[in-house]
Amino acid sequence: MKFAAVVITYFPGDDFLDNIATYLNHIDRLYIADNSDPSFSFPEQLSNNPKITILADGVNRGIAVRLNQVMEMAANEGYDWMLTMDQDSSFNAEQLQQYLVNIRNFKQQETVAMFGVETGKTPESPSAAFEPSRLLITSGSMVNLHLSKQTGGFDERLFIDGVDHAYCFQAGRLGFETVRFTGIYLNHNLGTRHTVRSLKSLQQTSRALHPPFRLYYMFRNFQYLSKIYEADFPEEFALLKKDLYNRIKNHLLYGSGKMRTLKALLKARKDFREGSMGKQSVR
């Protein structure tokens, strides 16, 4: 069984090399798909590494396009599974080793379109515990390359946000499984954590806040996915709606640029209704 990995980059920070090091030695090939505009200059230790392929053209093409590019390339080069990573995500070595063992030993793995991992509560120790889930996230997931053509790939109309969930929903419609290993943990954060004073308790607390352009894509793409898939997956969409509205609420209560956020949300609703998908200018 051959494992490839792809990390989607956008002007990666200083911790990028350390994050890659947590999984590079455990996979057979790493593709770095860069969305930096203009192109990012990668260190020679990456560009000269024969195990690494860098795809960069100085254009931000979005997450879905880059994933599809690498998925097709890795499948054609004979890899079986593709680990998808964010530039700021990392694995503990013991967790990743168990993850790969779990996949190798999983019964009827040929019917699983994607495996995912836990990003919330840290398990006491790595294990093979799992559960069905249609809400896997891109980072830390493992895509079955033998099913990639049948699933139709990642939805490029989304650009960013919801790309992972759309893949899971489409796989489910086609009769394929998507599975989360609850005993495997990924170091990952969605949004920048900010220390704020709770308006309810007046105590210091932490909130994940997103800039207006991210809330734009979250809100627009949720409406798009809801129209297509909510009838088939009502429980999942109830959870997604609750999470989305909580993120919007946090930004309006504790974030800056509230008028910009409101304008972005109104534009998201308008663009969805008019069918304006893909990359959009959000100010």
Instruction: Please name each of the domains of the chain with its CATH number.
Output: 3-187 (3.90.550.10), 192-274 (no CATH)
Sorted by sequence, the CB contacts under 8 Å of residue 5 that are 6+ apart come out as: 23, 24, 27, 29, 30, 31, 82, 83, 84, 85
State whether the Cα torsion 154-7-116-128 is positive or negative.
positive
40-54, 179-193, 254-268: segment of lowest average pLDDT: 179-193
Give the tens place of pLDDT for each residue, 106-143. Answer: 999 999 999 999 987 788 789 999 999 999 999 999 99
| 280 in Cβ contact with 224 (< 8 Å) | no
Report how far apart, in Å, the C-alpha atoms of 111 and of each of 2, 70, 174, 222, 239 are. 17, 21, 10, 27, 25
Contacting residues for 221 by C-beta, under 8 A, at least 6 apart: 158, 161, 162
Comparing CA positions, the residue from 229, 82, 100, 66 lying closest to residue 148 is 82
Query: Quick one: tokens of 1?
Result: 């069984």
Output the pTM of the full model.
0.92
pLDDT-based confidence at residue 190 (cuts at 50, 70, 90): low
Q: Please check whether residue 70 is in contact with residue 77, taking contact to mean a CB–CB distance below 8 angstroms.
A: no
Nearest CA-CA partner of 21 in 187, 138, 242, 260:
187
Distance of CA 182 to the CA centre of its chain: 17
- The SS3 assignment for 107 reads coil
Please state, in angstroms and rounded to a whole number, the distance separating the CA atoms of residues 244 and 242.
6
CA atoms of 127 and 237, how far apart (whole Å): 28
Tell me what pLDDT residue 180 has. Answer: 97
Structure tokens at 121: 């509560």
228 in Cβ contact with 281 (< 8 Å):
no
Handedness of CA 153, 156, 157, 159 (dihedral sign): positive
Query: Given a cut of 70, is residue 73 above it in pLDDT?
Result: yes
Q: How confident is the model at residue 58 (pLDDT cuts 50, 70, 90)?
A: very high
Distance CA 186, CA 204 (A): 26
Phi, psi angle pair for 89, to nearest 5°:
-105, 150
Average pLDDT for 208-223: 92
**Nearest of 15, 5, 55, 53 to residue 35 by alpha carbon:** 55
pLDDT at residue number 261: 93
